[in-house]
């Protein structure tokens, strides 16, 4: 079983819809992250969380919200999806600041 699991793996939806992407981990890490990747670009940080009570904005948080339901679960929501949010979304975890982040396999999201 994967240590960092993202659901769904693929999603196609329409402009204006609310979308939730889910991430769960079995690594026991406190820190969790959401990134997006656009074609030809690197990963950009959307939100990150150090624990259940701690949520922080990343570089590109506008249009997104997150919820840290438990140590193992971190979900990303698009309240009203727009086409330029079409991208590949990755969740990641880490045990501390100077340890590598471990990524899920991504969610490919297309907004029509």
Peptide bond before 8: cis, by omega within 30 degrees of 0?
A: yes
Which of the residues 28 through 57 are near other proteins (CB under 8 A)?
31, 40-45, 48, 50, 56
Per-residue binding string, other proteins, 60-89, x by CB under 8 A, is ------------------------------
Pair 96, 31: CB distance under 8 Å: yes
Site of interaction with other proteins (CB under 8 A): 4, 31, 40-45, 48, 50, 56, 58-59, 90, 92, 97-98, 100-106
């Amino acid at each position: 079983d994967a240590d960092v699991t993202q659901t769904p793996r693929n999603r196609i939806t329409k402009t204006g819809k609310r979308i939730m992407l889910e991430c769960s981990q079995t690594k026991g890490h406190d820190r969790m992250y959401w990134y997006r990747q656009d074609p030809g670009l690197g990963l950009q940080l959307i939100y990150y969380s150090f624990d259940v009570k701690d949520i922080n904005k990343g570089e590109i948080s506008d249009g997104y919200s997150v919820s840290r339901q438990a140590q193992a679960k971190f979900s990303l929501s698009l309240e009203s999806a727009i086409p330029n949010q079409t991208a590949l979304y990755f969740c990641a975890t880490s045990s501390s600041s100077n340890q590598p982040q471990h990524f899920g396999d991504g969610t490919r999201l297309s907004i029509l």
